[in-house]
Amino acid sequence: MKLARESIPFIVIPAVLGVLSLVFGFWYLTIIFALVVAFMAYFFRDPRRVPPQDPNVVVAPADGRVTRIKTLASDNGDSSTFVSIFLSPFDVHINRAPITGRITRSLYVPGTFLNAALDKASEDNERRIIVIETPADGEIGVVQIAGLVARRIVTFSAIGETIGVGQRFGLIRFGSRVDVYLPPGKGALVSVGQRAVAGETVLADLQSLEPEREALRG
């Protein structure tokens, strides 16, 4: 299993401490450090994902459970939908681009560290807002949100870069939430409670006329 490069200090340091503990006879500390190394390797795993080839679909940017789907009305009468995906400490935490496009905005917003599952975490918590402009279908917004345990948002991509669907663009340590904002008039094709797989699960089809799953909102 491939590991994210950000895992290096989190694995090497406890591994070294574990060896030193064994050398000096503190075998019980060695066991603790070994468990820490195992958890860090599991947390920072970076599995291969195969995104859909259809350029019109929006895929999940994160592994986790869909916890909220909501429509937001704008001043000009248009409405847009956002989908929240909650990541537990046991989910893969690599974030992936939901669609191919150019990054036109990347804004860090300081904030609190409330439980990421709460609705107000979208407005109150520390977060990183990324806007991806697509050639034909407007903009897709992705928000990395820190949580109660997550205290570090990492973003790999910068403004002006072109990013491909399913491409790694960041991660959040350790347990968090990612919100996806769809273009006006585009509904979600997932339901609350559904498990999402980053880079593979289709959240929306920008060309589809299929109605969103109203009965399964939350």
For residues 84 and 122, is the Cβ–Cβ distance under 8 A? yes
Rounded to the nearest 5°, which phi and psi values hold at 141?
Answer: -100, 135
Catalytic residue check, 176: yes
- Out of 7, 84, 157, 176, pick the active-site residue: 176
Q: Give the integer Cα–Cα distance in Å for 134 and 197.
A: 22
Backbone region of residue 77 per phi and psi (left: phi > 0; alpha: psi in -120 to 50; beta: other values): left
Count of Cβ atoms closer than 10 Å to residue 108 Cβ = 12
Whether the upstream peptide bond of residue 174 has omega within 30° of 0, thus cis, is yes
User: What is the Cα–Cα distance from 172 to 149, expressed in whole angstroms?
Assistant: 10
Q: Is the sign of the CA dihedral 181, 191, 218, 144 positive or negative?
A: negative
Residue numbers annotated as active site: 176
